[in-house]
Amino acid sequence: MKTYTATVLGSRQLSAHLATVTLGGLDDYPTTGIPDEYVRVLIPPVGSALALPQIDEAWNISYAEGAVEPDFRVYTISDHRVVDGRVQIDLDIALHDQGVGSDWVRRCRPGDEVGLIEPHGLYAAPSDVAWQLLVADITGLPALARILRGLSPQQKAVVHVVLTDAGDEIALPSPADVDVTWQVVAKETDICETLAEAVTSRDLPDADRYVWLAGEARASRAVRRHLRRELKWPQADFYTCGYWQIEAEKWNARYEEVAEVVQKKSAEVQREVGDDQGAYLDALDDIYESVGL
| Residue span binding ligand FAD (CB under 6 A) among the ranges 24-32, 109-117, 228-236, 245-253 | 245-253
187 to each of 163, 203, 221, 252, how far by Cα in Å? 9, 27, 20, 22
State the CB neighbour count (10 A cutoff) for residue 37. Answer: 22
| Residue span binding ligand FAD (CB under 6 A) among the ranges 128-136, 167-175, 237-245, 256-264 | 237-245
Q: Which residues contact 264 (CB under 8 A, 6 or more apart)?
A: none
Tell me, rounded to whole angstroms, the distance of Cα 126 from its chain centroid.
20
What is the enclosing helix (H) or strand (E) of 40?
strand 38-43
Rule CB under 6 A: is residue 76 a binding residue for ligand FAD? yes
Kindly write out the interface string for residues 165-194 of this chain, putting x where it contacts ligand FAD by CB under 6 A and - elsewhere.
-----------------------x------
Closer residue to ligand FAD in complex, CB, 33/177: 33
* Minimum CB distance to ligand FAD, residue 52 (Å): 19
Q: Which of 87, 244, 282, 293 binds ligand FAD (CB under 6 A)?
A: 244
Residue 109 buriedness (CB in 10 A; 0-12 / 13-18 / 19+)? exposed
* Minimum CB distance to ligand FAD, residue 240 (Å): 11
Q: Which residues contact 68 (CB under 8 A, 6 or more apart)?
A: 44, 45, 48, 49, 51
Number of shown-chain residues binding ligand FAD (CB under 6 A):
24
Q: Which of 32, 102, 183, 200 binds ligand FAD (CB under 6 A)?
A: 102
Q: Which of 123, 238, 239, 243 binds ligand FAD (CB under 6 A)?
A: 243
Residue 10 · residue 19 · CB < 8 Å: no
Rule CB under 6 A: is residue 74 a binding residue for ligand FAD? yes
Using CB under 6 A as the binding rule, the residues of this chain from 28 to 57 that contact ligand FAD are: 38
Rule CB under 6 A: is residue 241 a binding residue for ligand FAD? yes
DSSP string, 69-116: PPEEEEEEEEEEEEETTEEEEEEEEE--SS-HHHHHHHH--TT-EEEE
Rule CB under 6 A: is residue 93 a binding residue for ligand FAD? yes
Rule CB under 6 A: is residue 245 a binding residue for ligand FAD? yes
Q: Which residues contact 98 (CB under 8 A, 6 or more apart)?
A: none
Q: Which residue is nearest to ligand FAD (CB)?
A: 99
Query: What residue ranges bind ligand FAD (CB under 6 A)?
Result: 38, 73-76, 92-94, 96, 99-102, 139, 142, 188, 241, 243-249
